[in-house]
Structure 1
Amino acid sequence: MSELPRQRPVFALVVRLGAAFVLSVMLVFVKLLGESGVHLAEILFWRQVVTLPVLAGWFFAAGSLHLLKTQRIGLHGKRAAFGLIGMVLNFGGVLLLPLAEATTFNFTSAIWAVILSALLLHEKVGRYRWAAVIMGFAGVLVIAQPGKGDIPLLGAAVSLSAAFMIALISIQIRDLGKTEHPLTTVFYFSAFTTPVLALSLPFVARSHTPYEWMLLGGLALFGIFGQFLLTVALRIGAVASVIVMDYSAIIWATLFGWAIFDRLPTAATWLGAPLIVGAGLLIAWREHRLANSPQK
């Protein structure tokens, strides 16, 4: 059995902050590619395909090819199927909504995780986390303002569905993590999804300008780097501690939305976002307290 990595909680927070920034930049590439007319399926293909040679090269150089052996190939396939749906919804939400709103709706994944843990894992959910669920969805209603808001309801629905899939996938990854190395899970995710996405290329691919190739390259590189930082942060820090750093993404989404797309969040977003972020922080705080409680 390999030695457990040394815990470095402060450095883990810094790494997770870096991951939030890097993945925010990746979403900028997604939105710019969509505005250039590149099809979503092709965006997803280039996001995934580069991961395979990069990780294969790392496994070979590190002498860790044994990590690719798995007894749970079926579960990897199931995780890949759910992950592909989640990526379609996540990137689709970014294309349909301004960056700040898409990012804010993604934060509801913590709220969905509470609901799923009660329904699927039969975990006991106390009043604090149920209160956070209510507060978070109140924030969603404030931002979306069904029937009279400035936010397209289709985009809101897609982004909320993406957050739901993130929560569902996190349960699968938690299960896989009991036996699999994190990068092994990432590798098989790309290995399963890349051929599926490649089947769409004859129907959606087209020639690209140098600018578009630059965007596609940036998308792939920042995506891989973001995944690497997420993995490192989770290996050297506690989940409940580092995950709160993800909320810094709203800062980058707001800045990038203003500087690149000339779009600031609506007044409703300024009111609703604190409710969603506050709900996520309350859930993280409560899970941290429960994890450190002497009572089981």
Structure 2
Amino acid sequence: MQNLRSVANIMLSALMFALAGVIVKYVSSEMDILSLVFWRNMFSFICVVLVGFFSGQLSFKSERKSTHALRALFTFFALLTYFYAVQNTELSTAVLLQQTSPVFVPIIAFLVLKRLSDRYVWTGTMIGFLGVAFTSGVGTHNLNKGDLSGIISGIMGGAATITIWLMSDTESPYRQMLFFSLYTLIYSLVFLPWVWDSFTLSLLPFLIVLGIVTTLAQFFLSVACSYASTDKIVSWTYMSVVFAALFGYVGWGEKLTTGMLAGMLLIIIGAQISQKRV
């Protein structure tokens, strides 16, 4: 039952990440990336505080504030580079490169936590990544700045996932979201002199929704990590590439080929393999 809950939550997280990509793809034509990140963080913090206030969970007490700050820092840079990638390359490709993070999770887990993931994790992760490559068609064009930014986003995302793993034994998903939104807002205040005049009322609904869906993506990821070992389930985040490919097909007429459908199947197979027990 816990495995089912973890998979359901991480797939919801993947869906939210893909939806965020759609919003960024649309809004980035009218707003620069620094502004997008700042207003996303602002509305995310407001949303989390309101939820905590009305639910009675609002509290800034924690013994792991340094880990919260580190998670937020990694995610902050992941957002910056992800939004830039979405703006400067195809949606499915940007999501693919951001979702290289599962590849880095077992590597970082070994280097930082001295934990060597089992063969099923490595096999499933690589099969899923191969499926992602088919789905996105990443080999069909030369790497550009947007692609490189997406790769950096993947590395930062993997590091952030490890910090979530480290906190999941003591920090509730809501507390993680509260400190995550607080610290990312603090980090983005450095951009305030450049973004203050960028806000336009017509973009308000999109910015609010962007803040909500990216916060939900992080929330569902935190919940999933509280139910199961992170390295066993993180390959399911590859599903965001599937969602992004479908959104790209519907919204921007991006191609949906037989190879992409085969890649989607490989993603699911790889995620299933990762969950197997030795």
| Same-fold status (TM-score > 0.5) | yes
Secondary structure in 2 matching 1:260: helix
Report the Cα offset of residue 234 of structure 1: 4.7
Give the superposition deviation at 1:242. Answer: 5.9
C-alpha distance in structure 2 between counterparts of 1:279 and 1:111, whole Å: 16
When structure 1 is superposed on structure 2, of 217-226 and 119-128 the one drifting more is: 119-128
- Give the equivalent residue in structure 1 for 2:208: 217
For 1:43-54, list aligned pairs within 5 A.
Answer: 43-54=36-47
Cα distance change, pair 71–22 in 1 and its aligned pair in 2 (3 A): closer
Query: Which residue identity does 2:107 align to in structure 1?
Result: I
Identity of aligned residues (%): 23
**Residue 101 (structure 2) aligns with:** 109
- Partner SS state of residue 35, structure 1: coil
Normalised to the residue count of structure 2, the TM-score between the two structures is 0.80
Seen in structure 2, the aligned counterparts of structure 1 residues 227 and 265 have a Cα distance that, compared at 3 Å, is same
Deviation (angstroms), 1:178 = 2.7
SS at match of 1:71: coil
Could you say what secondary structure the match of 2:69 adopts? Answer: helix
Residue deviations 1:75-112, cap 9 Å, x none?
Answer: 32222222211221222222222111122223321111
What's the counterpart of residue 87 of structure 1?
Answer: 79
In structure 1, the residue matched to 2:178 is 187
Distance in 2 of aligned mates of 1:113 and 1:247: 13
- Structure 2 contact 168–222 (Cα < 8 Å) conserved: no
Unaligned runs of 5+ in 2: none
Q: How does 1:106-255 map to 2 (within 5 A)?
A: 106-125=98-117, 129-130=121-122, 143-145=137-139, 149-235=140-226, 243=234, 245-255=236-246
Q: Greater CA radius of gyration, 1 or 2?
A: 1
After superposition, the C-alpha distances for 1:152-176 in whole angstroms (9 at most, x for unaligned) are 3322222122111111111112112
The yes-or-no answer on 1:289 pairing with 2:277 is: yes
Aligned-pair CA distance for 1:138:
6.5
C-alpha distance in structure 1 between counterparts of 2:72 and 2:5, whole Å: 30
Aligned-partner Cα distance in 2 for 1:157–1:275: 26
Q: CA RMSD in A?
A: 3.5
Q: Report the CA distance shift for 1:161/1:273 in structure 2 as closer, same or farther (over 3 A).
A: farther
Change (3 A) 1:241 1:265: same
CA distance in 1: counterparts of 2:209 and 2:192, whole angstroms = 20
CA contact (8 A) 2:11 2:236 kept: yes
- 1:44 deviation in Å? 0.8
Which structure dedicates a bigger proportion of its chain to helix? 2
- CA 1:271 to 1:157, structure 2 compared with 1: closer, same or farther past 3 Å? farther
Q: Which amino acid aligns with 2:44?
A: T
Contact 1:100–1:265 under 8 Å retained in 2: no
Q: 2:260 aligns with which of 270, 274, 295?
A: 270
Unmatched runs of 5 consecutive residues or more in structure 1: 1-6, 291-296
User: Is the CA contact 1:97–1:151 (under 8 Å) kept in the aligned structure 2?
Assistant: no
